[in-house]
Structure 1
Amino acid sequence: MRDLTLPSSPTFWRSPVRGTRFTSLLGLALLVGIPVVFATGLLSYAAYNPDLSPVNDQTPDKGLLGGYLFPWPTDPHWLYRLTQGVHVTLGITLVPVLLAKLWSVIPRLFAVPPARTLARALERLSLLALVGGGLFVFATGILNIQLDYLFPGSFYRLHFYGAWVFVAALALHVALRLPAALRAVRRRGGPPEGGADSGASDPGASDAGASDALRPAAPTTSRRGALWFVGAGSLLLLGTTAGRSFDGPLRATALLAPHGWAEPGDGPGGFQINKTAASVGVTPEETAAEVWRLALVGPAGTVRLSRSDLAALPQHTAALPIACVEGWSTSDQRWRGVRLRDLAGLAGHEEGSVPDVLVTSLQRSGAFRRAALRANQVADPRSLLALEVNGAPLTPDHGFPARVIVPAAPGVLNTKWVARMEFRQLSARDGGDR
């Protein structure tokens, strides 16, 4: 009588689809995609200018992990729209590949004894961080995309540290497994479609990380068919996600994205937002033109300007998109308002010595109620304190009476409902609290 009761039994796992080459192909696909997701994630982190701590920094203990950080540029103006769109869309597209890869090696998690050599012991330890880190990073990322913050603590901190754990484990795993995986992919001949690979007859098979069934069940699909199924799942997710990075008919294809198929509205302000004024506690009473005042703080002291005062200053127009960490973006919108560098001049800074700026919003809840921008962002002539968009005054949900708009910056740094702007040099040490 066959022992099928324990997962550690060699005869418990009977799927004929599992095999050395099947597992290796999935692993190589991830090896191509995950570094791109990781690199664009690091760029996304840099775009927040987290060295302006603790205002922008959600990961204050990053240490050497933040050693690569650099001042985020303003050119090209669609840079963050591209990098974050690739990060999120590719991450979602890889989900079926990741799940299929984990399914293909499940039997190895129950192997007894767990390790016979030091190299195999290191591999098993790396798998704990690899599998756990991978599932954690993908799960938190997908929850963030769907605006479901079910995890404890800051998304930025959890996702950042989780990604480094996952990638470190992946690097160790690749170092241990890549040669065997390449041997498996290059093999010619082998078992018939849908049958089990003969690991006993191929020395490389036992090293490739596959879990071949010793007593395979009757096949219901071939391995080629299983790979096509995984690929089709990835293409389906790509097709139902990528459209939210575009306006027009393509956005209607983003069925799985909260900023996809939902109609944002009509008119000049008919483009996507993340948060409404009501959701963050901004009331019509405090944003009324006769009540609201912008405070500019600098060497000249505190200068207070009404919306009509701002409208009387030289107005400039910039065509810029809104791009958010969740991966959605809009096409270029036509913003009109006062240049940030002109406001720095009103605050007492000489032309040519524009500093950083700390911006405070009227909003009472949510992250980045206060956000900092670097001097290069303030100095860009397209960086505005916008009063209008697409030829009409800002709507309350788009930041009326005034909002910041900066080329290539993440949407959350384009602060809405601006109340105060402090123009001065900020540092990683004091983050604007000096």
Structure 2
Amino acid sequence: MRAALAGRPPPGPSRPEFWRSPLRGPWLTSVLGVVLLVGLTVVTGTGMLSYAAYNPGLGPPNDMTPDKGLLGFYLFPWPTSPYWLYRLTQGMHVTVGLVLIPVLLAKLWSVIPRLFAWPPIRSLGHALERISLILLVGGALFEFVTGVLNIQLEYIFPGSFYPLHFYGAWIFLAALVVHVALRMGKVRAALRGRSLREELRTPTRRTKPESPDEDGLVSPAPAAPTISRRGALGMVGLGSLVMLAVTAGQSIGGALRTTALLAPRGQNPGTGPNGFQINKTAEARGIRESDVGPRWRLTVRGAGREIVLGRDRLLTMPQHTAHLPIACVEGWSTTDQEWSGVRLADLAALAGYDTQPPGVLVESLQRSGSFRSAALRDNQVRDPDSLLALRVNGADLSLDHGYPARVIVPANPGVHNTKWVTTLTFGNPADTT
């Protein structure tokens, strides 16, 4: 208290000499910041595309973010071509995000003295910068932590992950824009002040602290170096490569799938026609054998008509084949599977829409969990590869893969490829024409 009253920092991390690493300084922070900025641009862009892929403009049940207002300005009808679009964008979103974790931690380590700067507020401009810094650090940690938990534990935030992640992303993005605007000049100056090539050639014994800076990153009482900046950057790069190696296989597939140790649903779950990844099992979603037995029926509604079809009747209709993957928000995806069944457009014709079929509301038998129904746009219904699938890879669907019938649509998020379908309602509330 006496130190504070005297205008001096209190004992502890608020005193500059508390931080003794000789590596901290504007140059190292700027290098890490540039790498993080490039990566976060990719993560942010693909994250916005991921939100658009859910077609939130259709409203319930797709829209998980009420009152989004102007934040949804960029939304557009999600296309069905190329068919691997969502697999690419969401795989990049999750993989790049995980790869950036070591960079983020290193960046936070490099600037931690600033979080304890004394006095906490020096001027109005300094106060605004501090607020943006708190929102930036808090927003980054929130987005990364909630994203990792969702990947690892699946639906740990039932019904709320999407709005939490969506609004958190916009808060973080706003803080990032302010921070970049305030700091870009200093970043340029720091990067020009030292040569990256020279720093990568400098061993530990010749590593020297940077010149004192006004932000207090450089320690006034540095300890002897135990690692060079080259070594520090190498450790961060190695950590990112390890994260890449243990996650990328979940979306790339092939031999790398066996190395996806941090992707719980990224590994090969078995063999045979139905031997590919799933998120939700029939048991976990309350599906009973009686629900999918001989009495199962599909109800097709629209244009004042209602048709009830059994599985045998569906199998007598023209069957079509599509080679499509399943790609989920957690970043994992399957290779292309051979699906066969009835085109959604043909079912729309049964409901009275012979030309220009509208969107459809798809309802499932599942009794628990999220995404018991999903709305598809008219362009998704009209795609010739959009099927009510009855078989996969030459065999009947397994119960966990949606038997007796499931939806499969090109470039569609996995949770919107509804399993255990019981009702298709064409037109309102899914009509977007």
Normalised by the length of structure 2, the TM-score is: 0.93
Residue identity in the other structure for 1:317: T
Q: Is the 8 A contact 1:360 1:420 kept in 2?
A: yes
Residue identity in the other structure for 2:378: A
In the alignment, is residue 269 of structure 1 matched against residue 274 of structure 2? Answer: yes
Give 2:417's aligned residue.
Answer: 414
Displaced runs of 4 or more, over 6 A = 189-192
Q: Aligned pair in 2 of structure 1 residues 151, 317: CA closer, same or farther (>3 Å)? A: closer
| Correspondent of 1:196 among 209, 218, 232 | 209
Give 1:131's aligned residue.
Answer: 137
Q: CA deviation at 1:179?
A: 1.0
In 2, the alpha carbon distance for the partners of 1:210 and 1:5 equals 16
In 2, the alpha carbon distance for the partners of 1:188 and 1:347 equals 69
Residue identity in the other structure for 1:86: M
Q: Is the 8 A contact 2:95 2:244 kept in 1?
A: yes
In the alignment, is residue 375 of structure 1 matched against residue 388 of structure 2? Answer: no
Structure 1 alignment gaps of length 5 or more? 200-204
In 2, the alpha carbon distance for the partners of 1:276 and 1:184 equals 53
Give 1:311's aligned residue.
Answer: 315
DSSP-derived class of the 1:372 partner: strand
Q: Is the 8 A contact 1:4 1:12 kept in 2?
A: no
Give 2:3's aligned residue.
Answer: none
DSSP-derived class of the 1:296 partner: strand
Give 2:4's aligned residue.
Answer: none
Q: Is the 8 A contact 1:4 1:11 kept in 2?
A: no
Q: Is the 8 A contact 1:195 1:216 kept in 2?
A: no
Give 2:389's aligned residue.
Answer: 386
Q: CA deviation at 1:220?
A: 0.9
Q: CA deviation at 1:4?
A: 9.8
In the alignment, is residue 77 of structure 1 matched against residue 83 of structure 2? Answer: yes
Q: Is the 8 A contact 1:196 1:214 kept in 2?
A: no
Residue by residue, what CA displacement relative to the aligned partner does 1:146-198 show, whole Å, maximum 9, x if unpaired? 12554586100100000000010000000000110111011137998533211
Q: CA deviation at 1:105?
A: 0.7
Residue identity in the other structure for 1:48: Y
Q: CA deviation at 1:40?
A: 0.3
Q: CA deviation at 1:16?
A: 1.3
Q: CA deviation at 1:142?
A: 0.5
Q: CA deviation at 1:349?
A: 1.3
**How many residues are treated as equivalent by the alignment?**
417
Give 2:100's aligned residue.
Answer: 94
Residue identity in the other structure for 1:268: P
| Correspondent of 2:328 among 324, 328, 341 | 324
Residue identity in the other structure for 1:184: A
DSSP-derived class of the 2:375 partner: strand
Q: CA deviation at 1:86?
A: 0.4
In the alignment, is residue 292 of structure 1 matched against residue 296 of structure 2? Answer: yes
Give 1:221's aligned residue.
Answer: 227
Residue by residue, what CA displacement relative to the aligned partner does 1:405-434 show, whole Å, maximum 9, x if unpaired? 000000011000000000004369xx9xxx
Residue by residue, what CA displacement relative to the aligned partner does 1:202-230 show, whole Å, maximum 9, x if unpaired? xxx42xx5611110112110111101100
Q: Aligned pair in 2 of structure 1 residues 86, 118: CA closer, same or farther (>3 Å)? A: same
Paired residues for 1:229-240 under 5 Å: 229-240=235-246
In 2, the alpha carbon distance for the partners of 1:105 and 1:29 equals 15
Paired residues for 1:142-157 under 5 Å: 142-151=148-157, 154-157=160-163
DSSP-derived class of the 1:302 partner: strand
In 2, the alpha carbon distance for the partners of 1:153 and 1:186 equals 48
In the alignment, is residue 365 of structure 1 matched against residue 368 of structure 2? Answer: yes
Q: Aligned pair in 2 of structure 1 residues 427, 397: CA closer, same or farther (>3 Å)? A: closer
DSSP-derived class of the 2:153 partner: coil
In 2, the alpha carbon distance for the partners of 1:407 and 1:111 equals 52
Give 1:338's aligned residue.
Answer: 342
Give 2:71's aligned residue.
Answer: 65
In 2, the alpha carbon distance for the partners of 1:246 and 1:255 equals 14
Q: CA deviation at 1:256?
A: 1.0
Q: CA deviation at 1:249?
A: 1.8
Q: Percent identity?
A: 63
Q: Aligned pair in 2 of structure 1 residues 56, 4: CA closer, same or farther (>3 Å)? A: same
Paired residues for 1:44-59 under 5 Å: 44-59=50-65
Residue identity in the other structure for 1:410: P
Residue identity in the other structure for 1:110: F
In 1, the alpha carbon distance for the partners of 2:430 and 2:382 equals 17
Q: Aligned pair in 2 of structure 1 residues 346, 59: CA closer, same or farther (>3 Å)? A: same
Q: Is the 8 A contact 2:358 2:430 kept in 1?
A: no
Residue by residue, what CA displacement relative to the aligned partner does 1:259-316 show, whole Å, maximum 9, x if unpaired? 233x31110000101011011001111101x110000011242110000000000000
| Correspondent of 2:42 among 9, 12, 36 | 36
Give 1:202's aligned residue.
Answer: none
Structure 2 alignment gaps of length 5 or more? 1-8
Normalised by the length of structure 1, the TM-score is: 0.93
Q: Single out whichever of 20-29 and 242-251 deviates more from structure 2.
A: 242-251
Q: Aligned pair in 2 of structure 1 residues 9, 151: CA closer, same or farther (>3 Å)? A: farther
In 2, the alpha carbon distance for the partners of 1:126 and 1:251 equals 40
In 2, the alpha carbon distance for the partners of 1:268 and 1:89 equals 28
